[in-house]
Amino acid sequence: MKLTNCLFGVSMLLFVMSTIGTSQPLHGIVKEGLTITSKILKSDVRYTIYLPPDYETSSRYYPVVYLLHGYTDNDIAWIQFGEADRLADRAIADGEIPPMILVMPDAGTSWYINNYDRSVCYEDFFFKEFIPAVEKQWRIRNEKRYRGIAGLSMGGFGATLYALKHSEMFAACAAFSAAFYTEEEIVNLDSTQWNRINAILYGPNLIGEARLTPHLRSNNPFAIVKNSDPEKLKEVRWYFDCGDDDFLYKGNSMFHILLRDFGVPHEYRMRDGGHQWSYWRSGLIEGLKFIGVSFHQP
């Protein structure tokens, strides 16, 4: 009788342990400190990559999302502060998003553009060197329908800009608290802030409407949409999310209105929250779910 009880107890323990084990998602792989040598930027550029849990045990190729960081952050921010790996592990295990690779490049404070005097041509680097190198190195399905782009703040601006200017490259875009500024806001921007952040991008000591140069407008999402064929804009699926307490609420709201006026389908979310990591962590998976739909057949 005692032996039977003992065996029963061991069986129950093993069952509980197996149940606990299966309730935990498998972990993907994060690789930090990776570099690509860029001839365009004349430097090594860091990036971090998240590989889904079954990457090392399969031979399949995966869809990819390029996940862009914000101003003053770097390639590890979405992992260190955004916990993108933990969130993706759980969402993949729960079937909320398909297994996907997340690629997080370091863009410094480039705003992901080619600046006015072409002393820093990050956009050229991203499309001519970075994407080709990454998609050759890792098992990535290198077609538009399997490629998405997302980002926060400066990265939300960059993701939107890239999807607008290179719609042939991306199936979907998800921008969180994107750093969108209307032309009115740009004209009225404090000169100290302009020279601290914008001068290296668009030109120093510009005041008022003199800031609205052809170069700036070629990198301003509002101007691009106004000068685009609405049918062309529909080639990308769009998702925008900005908190109601975010200082960027106006630009995001106005961009939403502009897309509505142009008849461009998109999803727009304004949730409770500000310009902070707790907001972006809480919204990341919804954005990846939106992009992930593009990776499926209807």
Bin 5: left if φ > 0, else alpha if -120 < ψ < 50, else beta: alpha
Contact 285, 89 (CB under 8 A): no
- The structure tokens 């919804």 sit at 286
pLDDT-based confidence at 24, cuts 50/70/90? confident
A 10 A CB-CB count for 96 gives 15
Q: How far apart, in whole angstroms, are the C-alpha atoms of residue 133 and residue 36? A: 8
Burial tier of 288 (Cβ tally within 10 Å: 0-12, 13-18, 19+):
buried
Residue 248: band (very low, low, confident or very high) from pLDDT cuts 50, 70, 90? very high
Domain 27-181+220-293 has CATH 3.40.50.1820: yes
Band (pLDDT 50/70/90 cuts) for residue 17 is very low
Split at pLDDT 50, 70, 90, the class of 23 is: low
Give the tens place of pLDDT for each residue, 188-231.
Answer: 999 999 999 999 999 999 999 999 999 999 999 999 999 999 99
For 273-297, what is each residue's pLDDT tens digit?
999 999 999 999 999 999 999 998 8
Q: How confident is residue 40, by pLDDT bands cut at 50, 70 and 90? A: very high
Instruction: Tell me phi and psi for residue 131, to 5 degrees.
Output: -55, -50
Q: Write down the pLDDT at residue 112.
A: 98
Torsion of CA 178, 66, 163, 130, to 10 degrees: 120
